[in-house]
Amino acid sequence: MNNLDTLVEYLPFLIPLIILQYGLAIYAIVHIIKHPNYKFGNQVMWIIISLFLSFIGPILYFMFGKGDDA
């Protein structure tokens, strides 16, 4: 079995994860841009974290960075 066969075998599992990852990142980026209040850090820091830490970055933002909506 070569690498391509292995990839095709895992596609039904990978596609939903990829969609979830990009959806969560896009939602977090849009929220960061629209809401200027943060518990910790600033807008640029949270955009970088959300983009480069895949699943964990947006989750960290919503747990620790998202401030109260005013």
In a domain, 41, yes or no: yes
Domain membership of residue 22 as a residue range? 3-65
In a domain, 29, yes or no: yes
In a domain, 47, yes or no: yes
**pTM of the predicted protein model:** 0.76
In a domain, 70, yes or no: no
In a domain, 9, yes or no: yes
In a domain, 27, yes or no: yes
Residue 4 exposure: Cα atoms within 13 Å on the Cβ side: 0
Domain tally for the chain?
1
C-alpha torsion sign, points 12, 13, 18, 24? positive
Q: What is the pLDDT of residue 69?
A: 64
Q: What is the pLDDT of residue 68?
A: 73
Q: What is the pLDDT of residue 1?
A: 61
Kindly report the length of the chain.
70
H or E element that contains 24:
helix 3-34
pLDDT tens, 8-41?
Answer: 899 999 999 999 999 999 999 999 999 888 888 8
Q: Which residues, other chains included, contact 19 with Cβ-Cβ below 8 Å and sequence gap of 6+?
A: none
> How far apart (Å, rounded) are the C-alpha atoms in residues 28 and 62?
8
